[in-house]
Amino acid sequence: MRRILLAEDDIDFGTMLKQYLELNKFSVVWAKDGMEGLEFFNNGDFDICILDVMMPVMDGFSLAEKIIEINPEVPFLFLTARKTKEDRIKGLKLGADDYIVKPFEAEELILRIKNIIARTTQQQTAREDMPKDGIIKIGKYDFDAANLELHFKETVQKITEKEARLLYYLYSNRNQLIKREDILQTLWNKTDFFSGRSMDVFITRVRKRLQDDPNISIDSVRGIGLEFNIKN
């Protein structure tokens, strides 16, 4: 049974939503504010998080940022009664898998949740394409894909599975133009706007992981894709 963290301060709406999710065979942990949501997340394993944007104590955006710090692999979507473009953009920049404006049909939410979980499961199984052992030299870094580690001199960075898959894909297509659609289709299994925003977040993270070697660059090619370049 898939576990959902629901963070929603509206008691009537939260009660209805929790009951409907449970009728559809999900296990739901319901937090009444953002701080309680963070506490539940710290003490449990979840397949997806559903976060209301406007909550007391800690809003949904702040809660999402905390969740990403703890485990960036867990997908999340926002619920909101606000239709402002600024809110939507902020949610997408955080890497949200979806953004749903109230009111909405409960059946639509169920379908979106199932699609996100299915996509996340496919992404996790894609790790099987990476090397099971051995070290890959990427510039001055040693990439241990099996153990999700990136070594630089005496330092070791633990990276996430999604970061590892992206890094391996970029390295496998180094020093050439890589189309955005190809990256999205291979690693996200979708080419929609939400997946594109998520990809941008992870590209930024990989750039930061590799910033100590000036011979490595991830260069954007406007309107087409990017190039993962390693200078000799």
Residue 114 tokens read as 């199932």
119, pLDDT greater than 90? no
Q: Name residues whose C-beta falls within 8 Å of residue 37's C-beta, 6 or more positions apart in sequence.
A: 5, 7, 31, 49, 51, 55, 58, 63
Residues carrying CATH 3.40.50.2300, the chain = 3-126
| Backbone φ and ψ of 41, nearest 5° | -65, -40
Distance between CA atoms of residues 92 and 195, nearest Å: 9
Residue 192, pLDDT score: 78
Report CA dihedral (147, 153, 157, 160) to the nearest 10 degrees: -50
Residues 58, 45 contacting (CB under 8 angstroms): no
**What one-letter code names the amino acid at 178?**
I
**pTM score, whole prediction:** 0.64
Select 3-126's CATH number: 3.40.50.2300, 1.10.10.1100, 3.40.50.720, 3.90.870.10: 3.40.50.2300
Distance between CA atoms of residues 209 and 77, nearest Å: 26
Distance between CA atoms of residues 170 and 175, nearest Å: 9
Residue 191, pLDDT score: 79
Nearest in space to 31 (alpha carbons), one of 77, 65, 74, 63? 63
With bands split at pLDDT 50, 70 and 90, how would you rate the model's confidence at 123? low
With bands split at pLDDT 50, 70 and 90, how would you rate the model's confidence at 122? low
Distance between CA atoms of residues 158 and 148, nearest Å: 6
Whole-angstrom CA distances from 219 to 160, 173, 205 are 22, 13, 14
CATH 3.40.50.80 fits 130-230, yes or no: no
3-class DSSP assignment, residue 109: helix
Residues 26, 1 contacting (CB under 8 angstroms): yes
72, pLDDT greater than 70? yes
Which of these ranges, 21-30, 193-202, 205-214, has the smallest mean pLDDT? 193-202
Sign for the CA dihedral angle at 78, 72, 126, 190 comes to positive
Which of these ranges, 5-19, 56-70, 112-126, 184-198, has the smallest mean pLDDT? 112-126
Residues carrying CATH 1.10.10.10, the chain = 130-230
